């Protein structure tokens, strides 16, 4: 149970009170049954023997006082344990979320990692199972105390207390196999059902589900998944009930045998009534404690398996986080130049293949963007444009080749420092549904300075969104969307993209990257946005991809990609003068616009 030990050590380091509360609760739970079998023996012996009233009252008061004390301690510790287990659950959820955000983009994007994160999230719920398991260790004290009493009186009773539990071992082994099999079969179904539930709660799916008859289809799919879960559970509980019932039968058989043996000893005068009560209680409690511990061990093995995905996720390597305070002189010089606006980006013979791919998306591609140059990247779908942008943003490392910033290999530059130079807008961008100021500045409202607010207001004005934002009930501090606040502003697709552009302006990066960020805008609005962006970033190094080639005339130079390689490079006029891919693409798109007009 190596995984479970790791989890408990991690939780113990985070909350030093968790395990002590569990130990105290277990100790009190285990000692209480021993008190309740030993003191009644003394009371019966005194009642049938010396009949000392004061001693009887003392034993009775002591039994009542100890039970009251133990009950108070047990209830308090159970409450504390529940509180600390809830805190541990919150801690594990935070750890998994932190890990998910600290993974490299390449690792986090894979289906294997996504599945692992789903399984890890499911694992955290087993903490509440551990709560019961930790308290179950009190049976150790009950077992040791009971066996000690039996060993001091009658070895036959010791055998009767142990034998049924040993006979139940194959039953518990079968129960453990059933648990593992049930978890293996039901986990994918549970994940699918949870996915359907999340889809039902996410309003972004509402239009498509309602207009394309998706609601009834998703309900039928969810019902089919639930039916499979019910079949799996029915099979599991049927078999589980049989084997646990067999264990119970052995325990009750043990009780009958003990009662018969002690009853004969009592009838023949070999034991007193007090000894009968003591030995019967010790034997029964020992047998039940041993059975419970065997069952507990089986459940711990199941929990150990359940926590494996969680620990596997937490042990994945994090994204590079080099110390930006200790850089070689040439790296620091390259960064200083970039921060001042002198950005010289070059890719030298880079190739790239996705981890699950069977061919290169980019192949021996070389290109350069000189300081202050605006480069347009064009090509057919699948040519590798967005992949190149991802490599320039260091979301993926090239399979081969080198990317440099001001002559320095970017792999030598701390990742956070390098990305601080970038101001990217992707075609699949996301704006957080927080306050507009928080979403665009990347700061909590209490951390936003007056200078930040001025910078944001200017950026909103520069992209034509100042009026829209100020129409909100709290101006720039109005919520975006209605997820957090019913009074939140809901922008259209075009307005949303303009807000994303404002976010890039606020970032004040010196290498501007626009990966088809204006896809939802009409041609006139797109031209307006590009014109504004180029005006705002005049003199800065920038790269943009646009599906409308009419926008490329804004660029100083155009690079045409074809099948992952650089096919052409030049200005709009130069490329139009050539009989190549760019001219054919431009002519095809222009003809489509003429027909539409």
34 within 8 A of 142, measured Cβ to Cβ: yes
Per-residue pLDDT at 352: 94
Helix (H) or strand (E) holding 89: helix 53-102
pTM attached to this predicted model = 0.73
d(CA 161, CA 154) in angstroms, rounded, equals 11
Characterize the bridge pairing of strands 400-405 and 345-352. Answer: antiparallel
Taken in order 162, 167, 173, 176, the sign of the CA dihedral is negative
457 within 8 A of 464, measured Cβ to Cβ: no
Per-residue pLDDT at 363: 92
Per-residue pLDDT at 523: 66
Rounded alpha-carbon distances, angstroms, from residue 249 to 139, 146, 178, 244, 245 = 20, 21, 20, 9, 6
Closest CA to 429 of 493, 359, 333: 493
Per-residue pLDDT at 71: 93
Q: What are phi and psi of 204, to 5 degrees?
A: -65, -20
Q: Can you give the three-state secondary structure of 469-524, one letter per residue?
A: HHCCCCHHHCEECCCCCCCCECCCHHHHHHHHHHHHHHHCCCEEEEECCCCCCCHH
The contacts of residue 558 (CB under 8 Å, 6+ apart) are 375, 376, 377, 378, 552, 568, 569, 570, 571, 572, 575, 582
Residue count of the chain, please give it: 597
Per-residue pLDDT at 276: 85
575 within 8 A of 583, measured Cβ to Cβ: yes
Per-residue pLDDT at 323: 53
Q: How many CB atoms lie within 10 A of CB 361?
A: 22
Closest CA to 376 of 532, 539, 518, 572: 572
Per-residue pLDDT at 134: 65
Per-residue pLDDT at 348: 94
Which DSSP string corresponds to 362-430?
EEEEEEEE-TT-EEEEEESTTSSHHHHHHHHTTSS--SEEEEEETTEEGGGS-HHHHHTTEEEE-TT--
Helix (H) or strand (E) holding 545: strand 541-545
What is the CA angle 316-198-219, rounded to 5?
130
d(CA 133, CA 5) in angstroms, rounded, equals 13
Helix, strand, coil shares of the chain, percent, nearest 5, are 65, 10, 25
Per-residue pLDDT at 371: 92
The contacts of residue 179 (CB under 8 Å, 6+ apart) are 240, 298, 299, 302
Taken in order 73, 79, 80, 81, the sign of the CA dihedral is positive
CA 391 to chain centre: 26
Rounded alpha-carbon distances, angstroms, from residue 103 to 86, 116, 320, 355, 376 = 26, 13, 9, 16, 31
Q: What are phi and psi of 154, to 5 degrees?
A: -155, 115
Q: Can you tell me whether residue 59 is helix, strand or coil?
A: helix
338 within 8 A of 408, measured Cβ to Cβ: no
According to DSSP, residue 435 is labeled B
Q: What are phi and psi of 191, to 5 degrees?
A: -65, -40
Q: Mean pLDDT for the chain?
A: 84
The contacts of residue 447 (CB under 8 Å, 6+ apart) are none
d(CA 540, CA 504) in angstroms, rounded, equals 13
Within 13 Å and on the Cβ side, how many CA atoms surround 188? 4
Characterize the bridge pairing of strands 408-409 and 345-352. Answer: unpaired
According to DSSP, residue 271 is labeled S
d(CA 59, CA 42) in angstroms, rounded, equals 7
Structure tokens, 42: 């003394």
- Put residue 323 in one of left, alpha, beta given phi > 0 → left and psi -120 to 50 → alpha: beta
91-115 burial code (b ≥16 CB/10 A, e <16) = bbeebbeebbeebbebebeeeebee
Q: Can you tell me whether residue 144 is helix, strand or coil?
A: helix
Per-residue pLDDT at 75: 92
* Lateral strand order in the sheet of 557-562: 422-425, 511-515, 541-545, 374-379, 557-562, 565-570
What is the CA angle 320-324-329, rounded to 5?
120
Q: What's the N-to-C CA distance of the chain in angstroms?
A: 71
Q: Which residues in the chain come in under a pLDDT of 50?
A: none
Q: What domains are there in the chain, each with its CATH number?
A: 2-314 (1.20.1560.10), 430-508 (3.40.50.300)
Closest CA to 279 of 250, 297, 298, 259: 259
């Amino acid at each position: 149970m190596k995984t479970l030990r790791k989890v408990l050590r991690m939780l113990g380091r985070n909350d030093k009170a968790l395990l002590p509360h569990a130990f105290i609760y277990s100790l009190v739970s285990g000692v209480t049954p021993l008190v309740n079998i030993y003191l009644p023996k003394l009371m019966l012996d005194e009642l049938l023997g010396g009949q000392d009233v004061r001693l009887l009252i003392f034993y009775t008061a002591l039994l009542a006082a100890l039970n009251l004390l133990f009950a108070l301690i047990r209830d308090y510790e159970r409450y504390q344990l529940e509180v600390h287990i809830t805190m541990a659950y919150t801690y594990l959820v935070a750890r998994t979320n932190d890990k998910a955000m600290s993974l490299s983009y390449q690792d986090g994007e894979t289906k294997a990692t996504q599945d692992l994160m789903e399984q890890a999230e499911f694992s955290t719920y087993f903490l509440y199972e551990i709560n019961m398991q930790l308290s179950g260790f009190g049976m150790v004290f009950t077992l040791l105390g009971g066996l000690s009493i039996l060993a001091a009186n009658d070895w036959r009773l010791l055998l009767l207390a142990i034998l049924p539990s040993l006979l139940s071992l194959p039953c518990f082994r079968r129960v453990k196999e059933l648990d593992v099999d049930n978890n293996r079969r039901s986990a994918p179904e549970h994940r699918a059902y949870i996915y359907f539930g999340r889809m039902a709660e996410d309003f972004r799916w509402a239009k498509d589900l309602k207009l394309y008859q998706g609601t009834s289809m998703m309900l039928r799919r969810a019902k089919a998944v639930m039916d499979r879960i019910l079949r799996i559970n029915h099979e599991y509980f049927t078999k589980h009930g049989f084997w646990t019932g067999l264990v119970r039968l052995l325990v009750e058989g043990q009780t009958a045998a003990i009662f018969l043996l002690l009853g004969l000893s009592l009838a023949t005068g070999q034991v007193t009534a007090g000894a009968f009560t003591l030995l019967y209680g010790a034997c029964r409690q020992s047998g039940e404690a041993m059975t419970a511990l065997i069952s507990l061990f089986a459940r711990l093995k199941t929990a150990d398996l359940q926590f494996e995905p969680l620990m596997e996720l937490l042990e994945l390597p994090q994204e590079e986080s080099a110390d930006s305070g200790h850089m070689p002189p040439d790296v620091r010089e390259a960064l200083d130049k970039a921060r001042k606006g002198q950005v010289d980006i070059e890719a030298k013979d880079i190739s790239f293949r996705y981890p699950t791919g069977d061919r290169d998306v980019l192949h021996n591609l070389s290109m350069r963007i000189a300081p202050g140059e605006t480069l347009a990247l064009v090509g057919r779908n699948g040519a590798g444009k967005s992949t190149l942008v991802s490599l320039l943003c260091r979301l993926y490392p090239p399979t081969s080749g080198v990317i440099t910033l001001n002559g320095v290999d970017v792999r030598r530059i701390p990742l956070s420092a390098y990305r601080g130079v970038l101001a990217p807008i992707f075609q699949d961008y996301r704006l957080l549904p927080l306050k507009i100021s928080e979403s665009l500045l990347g700061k909590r409202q209490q951390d936003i300075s007056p200078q930040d607010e001025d910078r944001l207001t200017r950026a909103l004005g520069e992209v034509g969104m100042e009026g829209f934002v100020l129409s909100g009930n709290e101006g720039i501090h109005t919520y975006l969307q209605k997820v957090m606040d019913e009074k939140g502003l809901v922008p259209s697709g075009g307005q949303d993209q303009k807000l994303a552009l404002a976010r890039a302006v606020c970032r004040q990066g010196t290498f501007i990257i626009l990966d088809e960020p204006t896809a939802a805008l009409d041609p006139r609005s797109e031209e307006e946005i590009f014109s504004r962006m180029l005006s705002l970033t005049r003199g800065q190094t920038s790269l943009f991809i646009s599906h409308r080639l009419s926008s490329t005339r804004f660029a100083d130079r155009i690079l045409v990609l074809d099948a992952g390689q650089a096919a052409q490079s030049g200005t709009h006029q130069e490329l139009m003068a050539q009989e190549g891919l760019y001219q054919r693409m431009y002519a095809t798109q222009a003809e489509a616009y003429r027909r539409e007009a």
